[in-house]
Amino acid sequence: MKKKIGIVAEKLSHSLSPIIHNYWVKINKIDAEYVCFEIKPNEINQFYKDFKRDNNFLGFNVTVPYKENFFRVCENLNDSAKNIGSINLVYKKNKKVYGDNTDYIGFAKTYRKLVKRKIDKILLIGAGGAARSILQFLNDEEINQIDIFTRSLNKKKTLSKSMRFDNFIIDSKELRNKRYDLIINASDAGMLGRKNLANNVYKLVSNTAYIIDIVYNPMRTKLIDIAKASNVPNDGGLGMLLEQAKPSFEAWFNTKISISQYLRSKLTSQLRYE
């Protein structure tokens, strides 16, 4: 019987994950299919129970807004996931279910490809599951100062329990006249169908050394457009998407794969540029 893998979220109409994983399934001649599971918050526990009972269901990715929800229900967590406090990968191994966080890996690859100088001061936008992964990486890199900008104080307490940052900013007016070596958008602001970032963020771009936006649809968000116009080195979210997907596939099927230029082009053709 065909094996099953997939992605879980509340809404998945714009997800590229099925294209990525079904391409890898095809070229590796695996009898499996990657599908989307749109579920409501009150369906998470039942979905997880059904998954554990289904021997043909090998695992799934988790995306916004459920990364922290599945962190709480998954019984076996890898060390990186424990530190971060959220997961984006669930897989089975030796009759047990494990949770891991490959967003950390995806961001690390993006950061090291782009950043070519010492970074002392960073603005991290967002405080959700992806932002937690990125903050853990920045802590591991021993960045001197990290400011977090988000619209709500709700996540401040949980973040401060396990990770280090300097300022937790909820009013964009506090960003005026600040300067950063790197600005990272780890929120969904600028995503297709979502609101843009606060204008006070955009005003910082020209005096910033690097810009990273983890949003991949559209490929060129307003943040990336302003960075390009200001000749600020930048990277969008497509690379991170692929680099976090790779270890997921390898965990499900216990096989090594590569990210081809053909796959990148295949994804690019599906995306809007603005």
Q: What residues act catalytically?
A: 67
Q: With 0-12 CB in 10 A as exposed, 13-18 as middle and 19+ as buried, what is 213?
A: buried
Check residue 142 and give left, alpha or beta (phi > 0: left; psi -120 to 50: alpha): left
Give the Cα separation of 169 and 175 in Å (integer). Answer: 8
Strand partners, 93: 96
Inter-axis angle of helices 17-27 and 238-253, to 10 degrees?
50
Distance CA 55, CA 34 (A): 15
What is the enclosing helix (H) or strand (E) of 234? strand 234-235
DSSP one-letter code for 31: S
How close are the terminal C-alpha atoms of the chain, in Å?
42
- 3-class secondary structure, 154: coil
Backbone phi and psi for residue 72, each to the nearest 5 degrees, phi listed first: -80, -25
